[in-house]
Each structure stands twice: as structure tokens, then as C-alpha cells.
Amino acid sequence: MSSRRELANAIRALSMDAVQKAKSGHPGAPMGMADIAEVLWNDHLKHNPANPNWSDRDRFVLSNGHGSMLIYSLLHLSGYDLPMDELKTFRQLHSKCAGHPEYSYAPGIETTTGPLGQGITNGVGFAMAEKLLAAEFNRPGHDIVDHNTYVFLGDGCLMEGISHEACSLAGTWGLGNLIAFWDDNNISIDGHIDGWYTDDTVRRFESYGWHVISVDGHDADAINAAIVLAKAVTDKPSMICCKTIIGFGSPNKSGSHDCHGAALGDEEVALTRKQLGWTAAPFEIPADVYAGWDAKTAGADKESAWDVKFAAYAKEFPELAAEFKRRMAKELPANWKEATDKIIAETNEAAASVASRKASQNIIAALAPVLPEFLGGSADLTGSNLTSCADFKHVSGKENGNYISYGVREFGMYAIMNGMALHGGLLPFGGTFHMFSDYAKSAFRMAALMKIRTIAVLTHDSIGQGEDGPTHQPIENTSAMRFIPNMDVWRPADSVEVAVAWTAAVERLDGPSSLVLSRQGIPGRKHDVADFAAMRKGAYVLLEAKGDVQVILIATGSEVDLAAKAQEALASDGINARVVSMPSTNVFDRQDQAYKDSILIPGVKRVAVEAGVTDFWRKYVGLEGGVVGIDTFGESAPGGVLMEHFGFTVDNVVKTVKEVL
């Protein structure tokens, strides 16, 4: 029987061997946190290596993702489908063991981590999702949702501002199912952190309302006792402050930034093996160590016990059980198409002239009864984003619901939403002013990178929002969002396009969507039914030219009406213009060439009209085309005044078309 230290040393050996072979990586954190990981994974973590997607598993997040060999070692040793050959290709092309943990690359990786602070924030989202689902589905004697989220994090995560956003909110929410382990080793890349990080972390987290424990991170008994105590505290998240030595076991580099982000070197690896008493060859694990780590049998037993519980639950509450299974499988409700077809048709019939943010609220209200997994929210702008509706109940620290006031935490909100989406069972959306999408850009990027479904509601989308002035008027933001790979950005032109955009965003399972919406009113329009399907393709012919097409006007959002009016003015001058509404450039770009050519006829001159930066539109209009846009910051004045001041007028569109022709 291997000792705890021998089991932990297996992590240290694999970590330094893989980093050494790759000549790249971060061995220090895995070697320093190995003892903590051994206790957590062998004595507390509820998981089944044979089924990494078991819904009631505990979630484990390595927020300090640079220490990725820690999680790869844990997955391999405990029995996940991550063979040694993958560890040997650490950081190499197409390896499941990428430089930082990548969601969906290797089984058992719950979220992509690397940008520091986002992992702990995802962890808050995981824990919040568990709490909300438990409140919704559990019944007396039937706790089918009953698991914890464990997060490893380092000094860098705590320095990042997003950790404040998320951890203070976790305390307010009383997430007793969230247990974090701080790798308190006093080292970051630049060296000893005393010159740039002297926070009193214990008091900081106590002020958030967390339960805080401090232990020796190399004392297995103390670590175990701390976890037992943390699990017993069910009304507060717990922070276990673990004093560790980075690169533990390395005689010349431990306790130093020398082992933070670089291989130890062959000579130091040999000395470390000797120091640890580890005699196995590189990438070899003794049979008794494997036996000490193997979690396959225990994991299968835990899941089987849960299956028995769920069967009893399903017998007593068949409708709840079916709903739980549907949502965890990310299946849409059975009546989804019928319901959304009706919503779109009714929206079209009403043809309401309202701001697209208000149209969005109308659609949210219509979808809420159809989608019980809907979880809305806003970063302290509910009344401006119009993201709530009568069917929502607000979440607080003591009461559960399906609408969250996140406070002024744009970045934190969207990274928490990422964790909720990854957990499963919920469909999170959150609103802020479009201008503040800049604060959240990294969270959007991570959602797109992981191909997960979240929905951003971004209102006050242009200079048309008016008097708040240039600090609140997006110019480059819409184009910047469109440049995120795998992000679908919708800027709808009327209520029907809003309804179609919402429907498409909900149905999309392989990535996030952003709805860019106006503050100012937009004229309503009644569409032909055929337009509904065409809108889903990202662009369609809204108004056909009266004769042979001489120019194509491409517009989005509130500027579509401007393009429509310009078409009339051009016609009076004998110029035949086609008006194309392009609510989603990203979606349009994915269509086949035949469809794209049918909308944007090759060889026909084009003019784009959008209250944003002009360079983006060159891919559609070419150098010979024209763009009516804005390449400066805005001003403070009523929106209509600004639109005219910056050239969003019929006369300017007509002038631009004539210059192009």
C-alpha cells in the first residue's frame, strides 16, 4: 500500500517529466499542490472516470491553469481515458494535454482555464447552477442534485480583479457548495510577490462572507480535516488557504520562481527524484501507486447509488425526472418549434414600432413560459437592458429564482454564466450596455473558445443612445464582437428580426450569441413569411429594386430603416437599389456561396450603412464600394441630433451611392 506522500509524488514525477520532455510548461504549481490534490481526489471528490458527464459529479476546476500537468496527472492516475502517451505529448500539436486545460480536449476537464481569475469565476457559476437546480428539482428524501464545486487557484487568480467580482457575489449568495483551495506559495512569474501583492487574503474573504481556514498544504491530515470542516459549512463558500512550497521536492529550485514557468532541467529532475525517493523511470508509475489512485470502481459504485436514487425519484416524480433529464441533455422542449413559430408570427402581425431592447423584452416574456431553463440577469441595468419580465423571480442570497441582479460586474457576470452553461441544466443570458462589452470581452472569448451556449444582451448599441455621450456610445464594439471566432452577433432591425435572433440563439448549442440592441425606437415592419427563414441565414433581401439592380444597400439594426428611405430617394433619381438587411454577418458568412451570391450579387456595387466603424464593411463592399459609418468617438446630445450630425441621413446615403456609381 502506497503512502499518501508516494501517491502525491506520482503527480510530481509526471508533472516534471512531461514539462521536461516538452521543454515547456509550469512544473512548480503541480508539485506544490500535489498533496492537496491527493487528499481531495482520493478522499472527497465524487466522480466516475468511466462517465465524466455524470450529472451529479463534483466539479473540479484548476483555475491556475498554467499548472495543467496537475489535472492531467490526476485524470490519468484516477482512471480517465487519458493514456500515458497523451501525457508524453504534453503541449504538442493535437495532444489532449494542451498547455492549459482545454474543455472537450480530455475527459474530465470541466472548463478551459488559463486566463487567471476566470476559473474561480466559472466555479462560482458551477456552484450557483447546482444551488438553483437543487432548489428546483430536489424533493424531501430525494436529493438528486447534491454535489460540490472544488477550485484550485493561485496568487495570480486573486490578483485579477474578476476574482473580487465573483467571490464577493459568491459570499452574498451563500454558496456552501463551493470550496476553493488557495496555493499560497508567495511566488509568481516575476519572483516573490511581496513587492506587488500584500493583501490580507484571509480577512478579504472573511469580509466577503466566506468561511476561511488556513492549513499547511503539505500536511495531508490537516488538509483532510479542513475539507471535512468546509463541507460541513453549508451556508457559506469556503476558502482553504494552503501554505505550500512551489516546486516541492526540487532541492535547488523549490520555493523560487525558477520552477514557476520553466522546465527544471535534466540534472534537477534527477536530483528531485532522489530527494523524493522516486525510483521509477520517467513516465512510469509503479503498480501499487496506480492501485492507490484508481477511482474506477469507487466511481462506478457512487454513480450506481445515484442511479438507484434517481429511479426512486422518477417513480414518485415522473414529470420532474423527465424535465431534469431533458435539460441536462440540452434538449429543447417538445413544443419549442410550435411555440416559437407562434411567437414570431404574432410579433410579425403586431409590427410594433419600439426600440429593439423593448422588442427583446417582449420576446423574453414570451419565451420564459416555454423555457424553464431560462436564467436571466443584468449587471445593474435591468431597467435599461429590459432583461427581466413578470415570469422571473429574482435570486438573492436566501431565495432562489431565475433572474439574477449581478451588480456592477460585467466581466464577472459573463464568466459566471460560462460556468452555469458548462454545468448544464440552465440557459443563462445577461445584459449590459454594449459599451461595457469591452469589460467582458475575455469571458465572451472563452465561451466562444469552449463552444458553449450563453446569450449576451447588449443594449444602447450606438451613438443613437444619445445624451450619455462618447463614454457610453459604442463605435468599434459591434465589429470587435464579430471578430471573435465562433461568436454569433445579431443586430436586428425590427421586432421580427429580434424574435428570430432570440430563437436562433436559444437553438444554437455550439457557441455563444450576442444580441446588439437599440435604445431608440425602430419602425415596425410586417414581413412576408418567407423572410423568417431568410433572416435565420444572417442576411436577406428586405426590399427589392424596382428594376435591374444597380446598387445594393447593406444595413443592420436601426440603420435598415435609413437604407429603406434612401432606396425611395434613389428611385426618384432613377437609381435602382436593393436593400439587404444583414442582422448577423457571422451567420451570413457560414452560408453556401450560392446563397451569398443571391443576396449580394457579384459585380454589383454596394454601400453599407451602420453606425459603427467603417473598415469592417470592406469585406462586403470592397474597396470600390462605400460605407456610411463612424470612425470617431461620439458626442453628448439627443440620439436623433447625433445621427444627423454624423451623417446618418438619407441625403448622405444617396450622396455616397452616387459617388460609388
Question: Which positions are catalytic?
Answer: 410
- If DSSP codes are grouped into helix, strand and coil, which group holds residue 484? coil
d(CA 29, CA 27): 6
Angle between helices 4-22 and 220-232 (to 10 degrees): 100
Question: To 10 degrees, the CA torsion angle through 551, 556, 562, 565?
Answer: 50
Judge residue 438's burial from the number of C-beta atoms within 10 Å of its C-beta, 0-12 exposed, 13-18 middle, 19 or more buried.
Answer: middle
Strand order in the sheet with 626-628: 540-543, 577-581, 551-555, 605-609, 626-628
Instruction: Cell 492549513: give the residue.
Output: 215
Closest CA to 91 of 13, 26, 5: 26
Measure the CA–CA gap between 60 and 40, rounded to whole angstroms.
10
d(C-alpha 126, C-alpha 120), whole Å: 10
Contacts 24+ apart (CB under 8 A), 325-333: 327/372, 327/373, 327/424, 327/425, 327/426, 328/55, 328/424, 328/425, 330/424, 330/453, 330/509, 332/506, 332/507, 333/370, 333/371
Conformational region of residue 63, where left means phi above 0, alpha means psi within -120 to 50, and beta covers everything else:
alpha
Question: Which residue has 431553463 as its cell numbers?
Answer: 373
How many residues make up the chain in this entry? 661
Identify the CA nearest to 58 among candidates 68, 74, 46, 66. Answer: 46
Calpha distance 563→581 (Å, rounded): 9
Closest among 86, 82, 73, 72 to 9, alpha carbons compared:
73
Sign of CA dihedral 403, 398, 406, 384: positive
Reading the block at residue 514, the C-alpha cell is 450576442
DSSP 139: B
CA nearest neighbour of 527 among 340, 346, 367, 360: 346
Q: Please, what is the Cα angle at 655 between 652 and 657, to 5 degrees?
A: 110
* 224 closest CA partner among 59, 37, 6: 37
Would you give the DSSP letter of residue 61? E
Residue type, 443: A
* Rg of the chain (C-alpha set): 27
User: CA-CA distance, 169 to 174, in Å (whole number)?
Assistant: 9
List residues bridging with 522 in a β-sheet: 354
